[in-house]
Structure 1
Amino acid sequence: MTHPSNSQNPLVDIRGLSIRFPHANGGAPLVRGVDLTIRPGECVALVGESGSGKSLTARSLIGLAGPGAQVDAARFEVGGRAALNFTVHEWRALRGTFAGLVMQDALVSLDPLRTIGVEIAEVLKHHRVLRSRRERLARVSAVMGDVGIPEPARRAKQYAHELSGGLRQRALIASAIAAGPALVIADEPTTALDVTVQAQVLAVLKARLELGVGVLLISHDLGVVSGIAHRVLVMYDGNVVDSGATADVLNHPTHPYTRQLLAAQPSAQSRGHRLSSARIVPASREEGHVPSIVRDPLPPRFGGSQRTVLRVDGIGKTYRRRGGDGEQRFTALDGVSFFVREGEVLGIVGESGSGKSTCANIVLGLLAPDAGSVHFVDSRWNGRDVKEHERRALRPRLQYIPQDPLSSFDPRHTVRQLLEEGLFYQRLSKSGLLARSVELLEQVGLGAAFLERRPVSLSGGQRQRVAIARALAPEPALIVCDEPVSALDVYVQAQVLDLLASLQARLGTSLLFISHDLDVIRHLSDRVLVFKAGRIVEEGDVERVFARPQHAYTRLLMASTPALHGREREQRGRAELV
């Protein structure tokens, strides 16, 4: 990728940025001494763990650091203007026209009471970019097509809750770029997207770069950063600890934290080993310039058996389409069949809208199929004639780990109460409940100190550990994991994947693991199902499917997965796994 000329006037030019809140962190800055320059046609990426200051830094560029934020800098120029003392009116005039913001959580960011078309057109109407309603409708349709939303005229009439996670995220991106801003701030814009849609969205951002738009990208996906960013800033605890040209930072990291992030990426070589234990070992003189990645092994896997825990036979599901003419039907699932053995990890991959989540909801008994049946631990579990009271006794043996525990947990409940819900059917005494709750927290690397905490006070990784502990509480035969690590930064993802793999190996619990991240599926799963348009187009042993994909769509998924520059280093390097 050609780097923009340094002779161009920067869109953003900041030196010594400091951000503090009087009543947070003891009054100490949450962001300290950050230098940031973004030029037209340049993509700068911020990477780092949750809470490192990435989003706070990005939001300060459009006056959204938060109520009470004290922003200070030796230089703070946005669009060639000294913006440190902008009024509220000046910041509002800047947003949408000069800078567009793409946030991570589209369901929260989109107005549930407005259609997607109205949402995207708002910036055009508010800033009077296009005065004619016909012109606005044409621009909305065009920009929806740009970000890969199919049937834009129909989708524009729908509401956020009627779209899949991927479509909602694309609608949010369309809203941010509708007015043609000079700067796009993309805060984890591809987190909820499958790899093919992710490739489309990245192509949209790359097209903006070619038009001279600057992009500030926040992402925990180093493969995405590798494929689009010109420069990278690695943040840790509010400081920039590593920075430079993307290839230099990713191939020759200078800070231990950057090396830890790179080594913790899942890959073909990480299977069977602890991701969080990974470290880059420099090559010796005799070995040339190829470093090695060293990892500790996971505990031996549960031997398993041929016993089938879950059997799905020919399930189908259709929905009535909104926004279309007449009684149009959408086929979410069509004749899907598979099984999960005791102690097995079965992965499911596929694009947004392929039927993965519909399948998971039917397996969980939250949705009735229109056709076919589900058997769980030798009992009829789902079908048109199965009633909830018939499966209530088996409910504890089938558990769920969501993508976003914060929205799944009752915010009023403490961790103790959340775990006690999972232990309800065991009828333990009060002391027994406490002892078992502490045991569960210790299993997931937490402890008794977290019992009285509430979900909002926990980090993303801690919340996901509590979700795992709650799922393990009733000692289930099967856990459905729906994108459980997609919103986590690289190292926390590594820790959670290690935890799941260790517990699964020790307890022999079967996992149905849904993910759009092919590297995660390859690292964790025994077998894999590839979903496309409500059907299974390929299935088999995970190594066979990844090494020799038979279906064209599987090959497309493989080709669309962003590759981390230097990944081939690991493949060529010594397999020094201890």
Structure 2
Amino acid sequence: MTSPASGPARPLVDIRGLSIGFAHANGGAPLVRDVDLTIRPGECVALVGESGSGKSLTARSLIGLSGPGARIDAQRFEIDGRDARAFTERDWRTLRGPFAGLVMQDALVSLDPLRTVGAEITEVLAHHRVLRSRGERQARVREVMADVGIPDPAMRAHQYAHELSGGLRQRALIAAAIAAGPALVIADEPTTALDVTVQAQVLAVLAERLAQGVGVLLISHDLAVVSGIADRVIVMHDGIVVDSGATGDVLNRPVHDYTRQLLAAQPSLESRGHRLSSARIVRAARDDVEALSIVRDPLPPRVAGSGREVLRVEGIGKTYRRRGGAHDERFTALDDVSFIVRESEVLGIIGESGSGKSTCGNIVLGLLAPDRGKVRFLDAEWNGRGVTEKMRRALRPRMQYIPQDPLSSFDPRHSVRQLLEEGLYPQRLSKADTLARSVELLEQVGLGVAFLERRPVSLSGGQRQRVAIARALASEPALIVCDEPVSALDVYVQAQVLDLLVSLQARHSTALLFISHDLDVVGHLSDRVLVFKDGHIVEEGDVERVFARPQHAYTRLLKASAPTLCGEERELAAS
């Protein structure tokens, strides 16, 4: 194999007419059909599309990980210049690591919790005998960790995944993928659920690989991320390629209606007050020149709130003993945080990992006690010195929660009917009324009676999030705390869930505390925003003012770090 630095003359991947299917799925029909894919050294090719479009299945076929029973057919299927249609399992194992490295979405799940990250990175070197001596392997581990921007690699190599921040875990995963010097890196949603500054750091690491002549296949639903790093884009829908070409061409002049729909569904400050899922790009003549513009339907008008305080947070603080530090060494998670949420208001909270966002949300929910300060909910003492869960019990149904990952929050043994019954239990309804109300809730979130007996594992990500919203609304809450509720959803499903949340919130005058790392989502949804850094609120105010004219240097950094559809795409998205 030629080293990535010099760059092989031939394509790393050259595929024509790829189809992938399973005998037990889709009635035996292929899930991926007639896909062409070429990746050259130093080139980034992006696969985009919604969940279930075939992106990950296509990518995994390049390293023989399509899954048991996968039936692969292609006119041409060349990997590293070899016909992979005849590969044995041993051939694929030899390919993984030295030729191709895989970076998964969730580093905490992908990294072995029982091994240090150094041992994780060492595995590929030892398995493929890239370096034979232990000393050489340890030196290579430190070198590759430094290459991906992990500070103090000698110390970090002895830590476990749970001891690292999200950004450091993702970098460790990239280090493991590139340790053997592969010519190809396959990155499957590597920045999903990361805050914008960490996301920018991870993308910079991938950009450095490209500059060194490594080919990158990026799977992402984030078109802004794609626009900043990809040379070419392939858009997949229902297992087929519907659009492809140079990134600027696909994002500036989309050919297929589905690509246009994805671009139009991007949230932003400009989309406020409009239904994202209704957005479409239309062609219109302007001064005898044909141009593209986005048309969106307005959301129903919001019911004016009474101005009543729903939540008051006064000077809360939280500290922890620093693990591994001196006995009296403390870490400050929150310090003197105060804010108010009023009826029908949406208050957004943004900030990087470790800024205190989730700690604040857990204190508001009453799941964590503050060391100082207090919280009042609906004019009652809710959290603080002397407040117990027994004292909160009567008001508990009026505060609800929508998690980032409902699948891990729901009891997998329960049906949708049982999940909704739990939310309705405080109302002490009859069996018939409980069933009728459950059906009504499902219809409100665009599902229906057919979903009552389904279990969470059988639902798509968007369907699970709709069930989470229905359960949160069951008790007619005054406040819903939303912690990254759409970060793992693809663009169009995200648009549908946001439309649903905004419509129901307006109809019921429910207040939302919306925690997110996605500035565009917060800009689309929120009335006011709090910017958290190192446990402090460094800026707050009307979301349009804060995003348009940020006063604090950190807010400006967040804005500068957030990926955007640039150039002509930015103009198109703002039309």
Q: What's the TM-score, normalizing by structure 1?
A: 0.94
User: C-alpha deviations, 1:304-348, integer Å up to 9, x for none?
Assistant: 132211111222222233355665432221221112111110001
Tell me the secondary structure at the aligned position of residue 390 of structure 1: helix
Counterpart amino acid of residue 420 in structure 1: E
Q: Structure 1 531/472 Cα, relative in aligned 2: closer, same or farther at 3 Å?
A: same
For residues 384-399 of structure 1, what are the structure 2 equivalents within 5 Å?
Answer: 384-399=385-400
Where do 1:87-236 residues align within 5 Å?
Answer: 87-150=88-151, 152-236=153-237
1:54-453 matches, within 5 Å, as 54-150=55-151, 152-284=153-285, 286=287, 288-324=289-325, 328-453=329-454
Alignment CA distance shift 1:477-1:159 (3 Å): farther
SS of equivalent residue, structure 2 residue 407: helix
Structure 2 equivalent of residue 540 of structure 1: 541
Partner of 1:568: 570
CA contact (8 A) 2:564 2:570 kept: no
- 1: distance between equivalents of 2:237 and 2:299? 28
Residue 148 of structure 1 contacts residue 201 of structure 1 at CA under 8 Å; is this kept in 2?
A: no
Conserved in 1, the CA contact under 8 Å of 2:117 and 2:158?
A: yes
177 and 47 in structure 1: CA distance in 2 versus 1, 3 angstrom threshold: same
Deviations 1:403-447 (A, max 9, x none): 111111111111111111111111111111111111111110110
CA distance in 1, matches of 2:517, 2:143: 27
SS at match of 2:463: helix
Structure 2: distance between partners of 1:257 and 1:442: 26
> Whole-Å Cα distance in 2 between the matches of residues 152 and 6 of structure 1?
28
Q: Does residue 476 of structure 1 match 2:480? A: no
CA contact (8 A) 2:252 2:569 kept: no
Query: Structure 1 pair 106/283, CA: closer, same or farther in 2 (3 Å)?
Result: same
TM-aligned CA deviation for residue 64 of structure 1: 0.6
CA distance in 2, matches of 1:197, 1:178: 21
Tell me how far apart the structure 2 counterparts of residues 255 and 108 of structure 1 sit (CA, whole Å).
Answer: 36
The 3 A distance-change label for structure 1 pair 445 and 365 is same
Q: Is the 8 A contact 1:158 1:322 kept in 2?
A: no
- Separation in 2, partners of 1:148, 1:511: 37
Q: Classify 1:7/1:115 alpha carbon distance in 2 versus 1 (closer, same or farther; 3 Å).
A: closer
2:514 aligned with 1:509: no
Closer, same or farther in 2 for the Cα pair 1:452/1:306, shift >3 Å?
same
1:282 is displaced (CA, Å) by 0.8
Tell me by how many angstroms 1:78 deviates: 1.1
Identity %: 81
Matched residue SS, 1:8:
coil
> Which residue is equivalent to 1:28?
29
Deviates more, 1:399-408 or 1:85-94: 85-94
Cα distance change, pair 249–6 in 1 and its aligned pair in 2 (3 A): farther
2:31 is aligned with what amino acid? Answer: L
Q: Distance in 2 between matches of 1:143 and 1:310?
A: 48
Contact kept, 8 Å, 1:33 with 1:239, in 2: the verdict is: yes
Give, in angstroms, the shift of residue 131 of structure 1.
Answer: 3.9
CA 1:128/1:15 → structure 2, altered by over 3 Å: closer, same or farther?
A: same
Could you tell me whether the CA contact under 8 Å between 2:308 and 2:343 is conserved in 1? yes
For residues 534 and 122 of structure 1, do their structure 2 counterparts lie closer, same or farther at Cα, with a shift above 3 Å needed?
farther
The letter of the residue matching 2:490 is D
Counterpart-to-counterpart distance in 1, 2:327 and 2:160: 18
Q: 1:531–1:150: structure 2 CA closer, same or farther, 3 Å change rule?
A: farther
What is the Cα deviation at residue 88 of structure 1? 1.8
In structure 2, the CA distance between the partners of 1:307 and 1:167, relative to structure 1 (3 Å rule), is farther
Deviation of 1:9 after TM superposition, in Å, equals 0.7
Count of residues paired in the alignment: 570
Describe the superposition over 1:99-139 as per-residue Cα deviations: whole angstroms up to 9, x where unpaired: 11111122321222223332233223322334444544444
Q: Is the 8 A contact 2:49 2:55 kept in 1?
A: yes
Query: C-alpha displacement at 1:141, in angstroms?
Result: 4.1
Instruction: Report the Cα distance in structure 2 between the residues aligned to 1:325 and 1:62, rounded to whole angstroms.
Output: 46
The answer on whether the counterparts of 1:411 and 1:455 sit within 8 Å (CA) in structure 2 is yes
Alignment of 1:445-464 (within 5 A): 445-464=446-465
In the aligned structure 1, how far is the partner of 2:151 from the partner of 2:403?
A: 27
- Contact persistence 1:347–1:526 (CA under 8 A): yes
Cα offset, 1:572, TM superposition: 6.8
Q: Relative to structure 1, is the Cα distance of residues 390 and 205 closer, same or farther in structure 2, using a 3 angstrom cutoff? A: same
> Aligned with 2:349: secondary structure?
strand
| Distance in 1 of aligned mates of 2:155 and 2:327 | 13
1:90: how far off?
A: 1.9
Asked if the contact 1:401–1:479 (Cα under 8 Å) also holds between the matched residues in 2, the reply is yes
Q: Say if 1:121 and 1:395 are closer, same or farther in 2 by CA, change over 3 A.
A: farther
Task: Tell me the distance in 2 between the aligned counterparts of 1:103 and 1:444.
Answer: 31
Residue range with higher mean Cα deviation, 110-119 or 466-475: 110-119
The answer on whether the counterparts of 1:165 and 1:192 sit within 8 Å (CA) in structure 2 is no
Residue 154 of structure 1: how far off its partner (Å):
4.7
Q: 1:456 aligns to what SS in structure 2?
A: helix
List per-residue Cα deviations over 1:493-512 (Å, max 9, x = no partner). 11011011101111111111
Q: 1:132 to 1:363 in 2, by over 3 A?
A: farther
Change over 3 Å in CA distance of 1:572–1:51 after alignment to 2: closer
Give 1:381 shift.
1.4
Residues 340, 69 of structure 1: CA spacing in aligned structure 2 closer, same or farther, 3 A cutoff?
same
Distance 1:502 1:77, change over 3 A: same
Letter in 2 for 1:168: R
Q: Counterpart amino acid of 1:386?
A: V
* Cα distance between partner residues in 2 of 1:40 and 1:138: 27
State the match for 1:576 in structure 2. none
Stretch of structure 1 that moved more, 293-302 or 110-119:
110-119
Q: Following the alignment from structure 1 to structure 2, what is the Cα–Cα distance between the partners of residues 482 and 490?
A: 18
Q: Distance in 2 between matches of 1:537 and 1:493?
A: 28
TM, length-normalised to structure 2 = 0.95
Q: Secondary structure at the match of 1:295?
A: strand
Classify 1:305/1:177 alpha carbon distance in 2 versus 1 (closer, same or farther; 3 Å). Answer: farther
Query: Partners in 1 of 2:322 and 2:150 — Cα distance?
Result: 16
Q: Separation in 2 of the partners of 1:135 and 1:448?
A: 62
The 3-state SS of whatever aligns with 1:300 is coil
Cα distance in 2, alignment partners of residues 564 and 69 from structure 1: 36
CA distance in 2 between partners of 1:98 and 1:319 (Å) = 44
Alignment RMSD (CA, Å):
2.0
Structure 2 portions without partners, runs of 5+: none
**C-alpha contact (below 8 Å) 2:271/2:524 kept by paired residues:** yes
